Amino acid sequence: MSAVQIAPEAPGTPVVVASTGWRLAVRRFRHNTLAVIGLVVIVVIVLFCFVGPFLYPTDQTHTQLSQANLGPSAAHWLGTDAVGHDVLGRLMYGGKVSLMVGIAAGILATVVGTLWGSVAGYVGGWVDAVMMRVVDAGIAIPALFILLVISAITTPGVGGLIVILGFVSWLVPSRLIRAETLTLKNRDYVLTLRAIGGSHARAIGKHLLPNSVSTIVVAATFQVADAILLVAYVSYLGLGVQAPATDWGGMLSAGLTAAYSGRWWLIVPPGLAVILVVCAFNAVGDGLRDAFDVRGR
């Protein structure tokens, strides 16, 4: 879903203007084979998770102990787990949660980080100093520690998980955007606007944000990759969504014991899925960075 939109039509594109610039960026992106493969992988996995269940319907809510622990067969392509859920179906079902939480948390982190970083960079002075010390303090506390503490207190739903993951990962994008804002706010066109009496709002809305779009989009892509990994990570630690719902990390966690009894189909598919998606998002992020780089600002 969002992966498809990222490439050619990021938000805020002035229609008249940069047609050639965007065309150039798209061409650059197409030349990066790895990035194109990454984009294809993302599209395929998204289709697999969201359209797949209609083509390969399975029951993921009721346990069927009679069907438990079966190996791959014609009826269950990837076998079944310890309570009789079809693993291929479960991969789609869990993937929905992983992707949704990962993408939403990544975007949330980028939005919060962008707002925080651009305000700090634009206002400057002591406001900047205070806001950035907050970021430093946040980075100094390991995310894992915060996640473990939260998991000891409460078990969040999907919404809660998004907020928590977004909250622990907005710090790095905020630094990136601040640095970008610092260079942009002293560009001659911003000074010119200020000199003729243009407002701060206009400087930010018309110049700073549109010119940071490339940085923001690239940051968001990497952030989504990180968040998907983080979802797997926290679910594995038991903070994830609760049964019968699941996600790829939860599947890994549930299948851990099976690793010793040779039931590879419980471990390998969700593990591969996580690796594939994360690599794909990183490759796309790399491609976007190269693509945006050519605009000769």
The residue ranges that bind another protein (CB under 8 A) are 14, 16-18, 20-21, 187-189, 191-199, 202, 206-207, 210-211, 294-297
Closest approach of another protein to the CB of residue 120, in Å: 21
The minimum distance between CB 187 and another protein, in angstroms, equals: 5
Closest among 199, 171, 218, 271 to 32, alpha carbons compared: 218
CB of 233 to another protein, least distance (A): 37
- 10 vs 83, beta carbon nearer another protein: 10
Distances (CA, A) of 81 to 45, 57, 70, 123, 241: 21, 16, 7, 55, 18
- For residues 142-157, one letter each, b for 16 or more C-beta atoms within 10 angstroms of the residue's C-beta and e for the rest, the string is ebeeebeebbeeeebe
* Nearer to another protein among residue 138 and residue 198 (C-beta): 198
Judged by beta carbon, residue 186 or residue 261, the one nearer another protein is: 186
H helices within 32-124, ranges in order? 33-50, 52-55, 87-123
Find the shortest distance in angstroms from Cβ 42 to another protein: 26
Q: How far is the CB of 43 from another protein (least distance, A)?
A: 27
**44/294 with CB nearer another protein:** 294
Cα–Cα distance measured from residue 130 to residue 244, given in angstroms and rounded to the nearest whole number = 44
Nearest to 294, CA basis, from 8, 7, 21: 21
